[in-house]
Chains A and B, each alone.
Chain A
Amino acid sequence: MAISETFVRIRYRWFSDRLVGEILSKSWIDNAIPTIALVATLGVMIAIIPDYLSVGNLTDLSRQVAEFGLIAMALTIVILSGGIDLSVGSMFALCVLAALVSMNVLGLPLLAALTATLATGLLCGLLNGVLVGYLRLRAFITTLVTLVIYRALYDIVFPRLASAIVGSTPDSPTWDFIGYGVVYGVPVSFLIFLAVAIVLHIVLSRLRPGWRLRAVGGARRSAYNAGINVKLTVCLAYVSSGILTAIAAFLFSARLGSTGADTGIGLEISVLTAVVLGGVSLGGGRGSVGNAVIGSILVLILTNSLIRLAMPGSVSQLLLGCVLILAVLFDAKWVKNRAKILSRVYMSPTYLKLPDRSQGAREDYFALNNRLGGVDLIGLGEVEGPEDVILDQNDHLYTGTRLGTIVRFFAPDYKHSEVFARIGGHPLGLAFDQAGDLIACVGGMGVYKVSPEGAVSKVTDETNRSLFSVIDDSRLRLPDDLDIAPDGRIFFSEATIRYEMSEWAVDALEGRGNGRLICYDPRTKTTRTILRGLIFPNGVTICRDGQSLLFAETWACRINRYWFDGPRKGQREIFIDNLPGYPDNINRGSGGTYWIALLGMRTKTFDLAMRKPGFRRRVARRVAADEWLFPNINRGCVVHASASGEILDVLWDETGENHPSITSTCEHKGQLFLGGVSNNRIGRVKLPDGDPRWTTRQDYWGAPQ
């Protein structure tokens, strides 16, 4: 091996660029840049302002954050719903007025004052919500108008009561405690804010109302089509905004005990800056409480520091405006280009050197023949994508289709068929368990069970999450093939954890061990990953010793044997290496043999490309997907192997018309059935030396009673 190639191998082994794409694909990446900005700003302020981290300063800041942050959360909710609320400043002023009038002027008890404040906020929000949600007015203009109306109301009421508010102070220790109280050094108002933030975060990110809100903001029409009450959701967003603003106003009133003519003026711009700076997208549907909090802290630090640096108020307004413009610009560019960047960097090929084919000395076995030429076609044009085929004890034939169904063809001529079960995903590997239930790996869904009556139930759709995986590998993305051990455990392969069913071919260009072998134990109903880092693990079959299994690694062109029980438990060895094609499903055959379907053949150009990851990445980035280099899967064959891994025979379809790619086989009573994941037919061919009584069921579970 050339030195440069060794270098390439080491580079891709230890410095994989896979993580860049995986991190970019996480939703929390939206928070990363605001967080970095916050840390940087804080660092700068600590450096240039003496005593920045003093207790007094921090306490003061945290009280401000509590009030400001609540309003930012209010605006976040509205922006998430796809709207905007410019009236938060005026609403805030009205609520402050309500709280102070209740406490100072009317002398109401604290709870009554709180209720009055919240009611004011609720009413203001409800007006916005009805106008925008039900009457379908534009959010921007509506809340601009209500901003003026609420401010006018404030300006009418405030001067008449100003002296009364200032003139008396309420005698309520709780009121003072909310305003000035400290618990373990933390201001009470900040604790209230924290509690509200945590609850709101859970509601927005984990509960149904939050998901509906995002759905409405992200794609209004789709949300409507999905059955979400869009009008109500939008209306409630404004109502929540009003209530949160009212809570902020209550805290503010308790802290200051008075109000002025300028309360809440310009607040909407500062809050909007905070929210956008924090990473909430103005387009709707994207954002979180975390974004609002980060943005609030950032904006407060900026404004406070500018005051402490003795900047005039107009200058700090100017700076804040510039920051808002920059944040909006960044938001627009980020939302627009994130997917583009992701699609360019997500695919990350790696170095994969396959053994030299001429070293295999199997060329004579793989000489082209036409033994699959005389194949009978079953379901031509009726069945789409029969990845796996299997027969039951009554000789009926079952196969999955890409329409999301399992189809049954009736013996003996297989001319008539019915939809046996509707699953919803493309069923891939199939196996019968001892009780006669059909177990299926379903692409994009998991492992499912179909009873003999056709009732579908889920077996498993998740496994244990691995510790250091960036992408969530607990969900099953592409379960491929399965087999059932004598004790009922289901062993199945998941071809790749990085791509969905529709993109399985992209995994071929990566050539990395993205797949795994998983075991489901019906006794404990648990699913555990047993082997990771496999290169597109595909076919699985249990060996006749009941302690080991064979599994194919497709892009590595090899078949492994793995012991899951017995004295060699946990060991793994290569069963057949250096195949001239890409192995798919493995199935038992008569006489103690195995059938291996090769879905395609290796080509020299592709083998060479697998040793040149940089070339593959450039091809993937610069060439349209239709033009990508690919293994030759227009030509497959079937390999008959002995129990010890010697190749006995190879069966070809010489013209490649009926079965260009073969993904599975099933021997049944002296006949071999052929499936293909991108084909529209099932093949049946008579085996000259096949045992006319042998069936898979017998081989697995013994003779039927």
Chain B
Amino acid sequence: MSLSSLFKRLLPSTDSGTSVPPMDGVFKPNNRLEEAESVVALPGVDGLAVAPSGLVCSAGSSLFLIATGATPLAPRQIAAFAGPISFVAANAAGQLAVGVEGGGIHLGDTGGGFNRLDLNDPMPNCTTAATFGAEGTLFVCIGSSELPASEWKRDLMTHGQSGAVVAVNVRERSTRTVAGGLAFPYGVAIGDDGRLVVSESWRHRIVGIDPRRAARPDVLLDDLPAYPARLARASDGGYWLAFFAPRRQLTEMVLREDDYRKEMIATIEPLDWIGPELSVGGGADQPLQMGSVRQMGVLKPWAPSRSYGLIAKCDAKMKPTATLHSRADGMRHGTTSVVEQGANLFVTSRGVGALLRADAKGFANSGAGSV
């Protein structure tokens, strides 16, 4: 914790604790996600990974393979699991790893044969993301040691910081904690120098973690205007970040208001809480903020919505260079995963339950390859 953030915590009377970075600069809103092509409708679509034979995509408890050469794109179910799939990872050899809520980690391939990986030591259930490292290592993000992945909102509202990044040795079935005490790590990729790049969602930042040394994570990018989810490497050496929901002053306020927050958690269902959401709420009982009142039949695009769709492109030094948005008046919210494949960018939107495709060209950063 830096000195200034310590100061902010000690002096909550200033509004610094509830301020949220504005969507400005590189994060200036646009409609690129709304204008993106919706290629496959898959209710509950979440995880996304690039395998040699196409895209591997999870929706609910089913795993789909989408051969990207075909038109139109058609998903083919390759496996189904006992519980909701919480992450999908693939490597260049075609090996797949799938996290199942309440069912551990499963290994297999695009042919559909999956086996549960029986670990020597039990591991917390809340797997949120994973990526294959060298020599049969799988780096897995554990969002929370106390709650399952579907209870992410409770973890946020209870100031959860029990997340971890674990290196799983697939051959020896052993595990090693690379970093602990993280506030909901929700995405992982491997950087050029072999370090892990992890999105720490509740702290709205991207951290770099060296898997070979036990060192404190160093912050690569922070003060983000939304909660980061999965991230992926870009072909120019940079990164793609998916954000699943926007930060709101009111949410930050409730996070500081212990009395209100505790009673809310104790007496109200999570769907109706004040806090981020994956999709545009339709329920009559969901909280509303003043700016989101429909005026003259119109919902303002800049209304303080609880859900949002946001993808950011960063260069190799994790400096954001471009963004794609789906704003408050749009529907393509809850963007949890993003991958670049060929000339295309694929994005999963849990808000509408669809796989979106945008043009990845034009986002490449010149000179980034030399870094």
Contact = CB atoms under 8 A, between A and B. Distances in A.
B253 interface: yes
A182 interface: no
B24 interface: no
A601 interface: yes
A678 interface: yes
Interface string B282-326: 101111111111111100000110000000000000000000000
B127 to A, nearest CB: 30
Contacts of B263: 608, 612
A604 B290 contact: no
Contacts of B293: 630, 633-634, 661, 678
What size tier do the contact residues of chain A reach? 35 or more
Contacts of A679: 294, 296-297
A627 B304 contact: yes
A681 interface: yes
Interface string B98-119: 0000000000000000000000
Given A612-B259, A615-B259, A627 B250 contact: yes
A131 to B, nearest CB: 49
Given A618-B253, A627-B249, A603 B290 contact: no
A626 B260 contact: no
A505 B290 contact: yes
Nearest to A654: B282
Contact of B257 (A618, A628, A633): A618
Given A603-B286, A626-B304, A680 B272 contact: no
A119 interface: no
A516 interface: no
Interface in B233-280: 248-250, 253, 257, 259-260, 263-264, 267-268, 272-274
Nearest to A366: B284
Nearest to A612: B260
Contacts of A602: 285
A635 interface: yes
A606 B303 CA distance: 18
B162 interface: no
Contacts of B297: 657-658, 679-681
Nearest to A623: B249
Nearest to B13: A622
B253 A622 contact: yes
A63 to B, nearest CB: 52
A628 B253 CA distance: 10
Interface of A: 368, 384-385, 505, 601-606, 608-609, 612, 615, 618-619, 622-635, 656-658, 660-661, 678-681
Q: Which of B15, B18, B249, B287 has the most A CB atoms < 10 Å from its CB?
A: B287
B294 A629 contact: no
Contacts of A626: 289-291, 303-304
5 contacts: A605-B274, A612-B260, A627-B250, A634-B293, A679-B296
B272 A604 contact: yes
Q: Which of A368, A606, A624, A656 has the most B CB atoms < 10 Å from its CB?
A: A624
A603 to B, nearest CB: 5
A633 B288 contact: yes
Contact of A629 (B268, B274, B295, B303): B274
A610 to B, nearest CB: 11
Nearest to B272: A604
A629 B250 contact: yes
Given A601-B285, A627-B290, A678-B296, 19 more contacts: A368-B284, A603-B286, A604-B272, A608-B267, A608-B268, A619-B250, A623-B249, A624-B249, A625-B290, A627-B249, A627-B291, A630-B290, A632-B284, A632-B287, A632-B288, A633-B293, A634-B288, A660-B294, A679-B297
